[in-house]
Every structure is written in structure tokens, then in C-alpha cells.
């Protein structure tokens, strides 16, 4: 099998988003609890660890959906303060596995709050037409830093991997502002939220169809990224153009991803070329057989 293409996730892989998207989810839930439910703010109701627990479940890759579900989870618990709600809400991982009924009007309102916090009110109003409720001039998007260095793509080219694709959970209007900051080739192929939401393999199928690789590496940092590759490889097209999933995660999360079918791991993008050099024949990402 000859790898000649790479497909990157964006948030958490090419762009550092711990201080932007992840923090925006936490602040969105906090704002709603205080301003809609009237709770006393005595500390964060949602921390980053809880958000990552929900994302690891594979069901909450979309931050709009995640903000909605977290708020519904906390709103259903008793307590007059934000930390009391968190304590009463119970086990986060169990909650992440439960289905959440969606009230569309409430979902839209929560998305608006999230966008004001992430993009800032002026951008959120102009870009998404949301009502100004939070009234935050500057968004957390301004804190994002780019993690990809041009030298890494040069190293991959030396390995014969010279086709580059993007599958991002961002909407196209949130992708376009960050695109010029990332040192990607001009012919990069991009799929955004409008092409399908992970773990649906539809956006990956678009990128593969346009890149026409022999085989590809897909680098992601969530369970939805891994599941997308697993689903792609289970299709007829995936059997002829297979994908190798590389998961970027801390060491303590490896066991969870390995149980779901992951076999290759990195701690940072800088580790990717050496991983691919050492894995002369990387295993195609398939589902692990049942124990």
C-alpha cells in the first residue's frame, strides 16, 4: 500500500482551539445558567475535562450540538448555583451517552449565544444573524494559534505524501477566516460542515474523490474523526482507497481510542513524519473484533 495523501482535521490538529472552541462551550453553558435560569455564579459548571469526556463519546463533535446538550443536562438538575448544578447532574460520561431531544428554537438560541462568545457579537450578528444577547465585542476565536508548520508538509512530501485534504467540522464561514493563516498548498481540497457532519463519511468521500489517492492518512483528535475513517473503510470505495487513521491525543486517552479501533497515535503534529517512517506498512484502520 502506497500512501500519497493526507487528510487533516482542523480544530485541535491544525489550530489550537482549547482557548477558543472548548472554552466557548464552557462559557456558553455558564452564561445560559446564569442569565436564563438565574443561578448564582459560584464557579464553572462545565470544565474542559467534562467537555472532552463528551467529545470522546463520539456523539458530540459539533460544538453547537454539544453546547445545547450540556445546557439541557445541567438545566434538568437541581441546585441554585452553577457548581451545585454540576454536582447534582451526575456522571458526565453516562450523560454523554444518552439521547437528547432537540427543541429547534432553543437550539438556535443557544447557538447564538455560543457564536457571540466564540466570534464576538459583531461578527456573530453579521455572519449568522443572531440577536445580540451576550454583547461581547471580541470573540475567543482571536486567541487561536496555528499548529501546522510548512516544514512538516515538506517532510511528508519526501515520504511521497503530496496530496493534502481537509475535513473540518467548521462551517464554511468560520473556515474561510482561518484558512489564510494555515500554510496549506493552494490546491488543498476542503470539506466543511456543509458537506456532512462527522462521523458521517460523506465529507471524507468528497475529499477522497477530488484527491484521487491510492491510500491516505487521516489525522484527527476526536472519536468522530476515528469513526469517520472506520465508516469510510467499510464502504466499497474504502476497500479500494483505504484510510489510515492517526489519532492525536494525550497518552492517557489512548486506551479509549484503541478499544474503538485506533492503532496509530501522536502527541503533536511534529511526531507525524517519524511515525509514518517507522510504520513501513501502516495497518488500515478497521474496527477491532469483539472481545
User: For position 202, which CATH number holds?
Assistant: 3.40.50.1000
Alpha-carbon dihedral sign for residues 227, 230, 234, 239: positive
Encode pLDDT of 149-203 as tens digits. Answer: 999 999 999 999 999 999 999 999 999 999 999 999 999 999 999 999 999 999 9
Among the three residues 142, 157, 184, which one is the final residue of a domain in this structure? 142
Average pLDDT over residues 75-92: 97
Among the three residues 110, 142, 174, which one is the final residue of a domain in this structure? 142
Asked if the structure places residue 60 within a domain, the reply is yes
Asked if the structure places residue 291 within a domain, the reply is no
Q: Are residues 196 and 251 in the same domain?
A: yes
Mean pLDDT of the chain: 95
Encode pLDDT of 32-44 as tens digits. Answer: 999 999 999 999 9
Asked if the structure places residue 95 within a domain, the reply is yes
Structural domain range at position 122: 18-142
Asked if the structure places residue 284 within a domain, the reply is no
Total domains in the chain come to 2
Among residues 231, 202, 233, 228, which one has the least CA distance to residue 215? 233
pTM exceeds 0.85 for this model? yes
**CB-based burial of residue 48 (10 Å sphere; 0-12 exposed, 13-18 middle, 19+ buried)?**
middle
Q: How confident is the model at residue 1 (pLDDT cuts 50, 70, 90)?
A: low
Q: Are residues 124 and 171 in the same domain?
A: no
Asked if the structure places residue 289 within a domain, the reply is no
Amino acid at each position: 500500500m502506497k500512501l500519497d495523501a493526507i487528510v487533516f482535521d482542523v480544530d485541535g490538529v491544525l489550530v489550537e482551539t482549547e482557548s477558543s472552541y472548548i472554552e466557548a462551550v464552557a462559557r456558553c453553558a455558564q452564561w445560559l445558567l446564569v442569565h436564563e435560569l438565574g443561578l448564582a455564579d459560584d464557579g464553572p459548571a462545565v470544565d474542559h475535562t467534562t467537555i472532552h469526556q463528551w467529545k470522546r463519546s463520539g456523539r458530540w463533535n459539533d460544538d453547537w450540538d454539544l453546547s445545547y446538550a450540556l445546557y439541557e443536562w445541567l438545566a434538568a438538575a437541581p441546585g441554585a448555583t452553577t457548581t451545585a448544578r454540576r454536582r447534582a447532574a451526575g456522571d458526565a460520561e453516562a450523560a454523554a451517552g444518552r439521547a437528547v431531544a432537540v427543541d429547534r428554537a432553543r437550539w438556535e438560541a443557544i447557538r447564538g449565544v455560543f457564536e457571540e462568545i466564540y466570534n464576538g457579537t459583531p461578527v456573530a450578528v453579521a455572519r449568522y444573524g443572531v440577536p445580540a444577547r451576550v454583547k461581547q465585542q471580541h470573540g475567543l476565536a482571536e486567541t487561536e494559534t496555528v499548529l501546522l508548520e510548512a516544514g512538516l508538509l515538506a517532510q511528508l512530501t519526501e515520504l511521497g505524501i503530496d496530496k493534502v485534504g481537509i475535513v473540518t467540522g467548521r462551517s464554511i464561514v468560520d473556515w474561510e477566516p482561518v484558512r489564510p493563516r494555515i500554510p496549506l498548498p493552494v490546491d488543498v481540497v476542503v470539506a466543511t460542515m456543509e458537506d456532512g457532519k462527522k462521523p458521517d463519511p460523506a465529507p471524507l468521500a468528497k475529499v477522497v474523490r477530488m484527491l484521487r489517492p491510492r491510500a491516505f492518512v487521516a489525522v484527527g483528535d476526536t472519536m468522530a474523526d476515528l469513526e469517520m475513517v472506520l465508516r469510510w473503510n467499510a464502504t466499497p470505495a474504502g476497500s479500494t482507497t483505504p484510510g489510515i487513521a492517526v489519532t492525536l491525543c494525550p497518552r492517557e486517552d489512548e486506551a479509549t481510542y484503541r478499544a474503538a479501533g485506533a492503532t496509530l497515535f501522536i502527541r503533536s503534529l511534529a511526531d507525524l513524519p517519524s511515525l509514518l517512517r517507522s510504520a513501513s506498512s501502516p495497518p488500515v484502520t478497521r474496527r477491532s473484533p469483539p472481545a
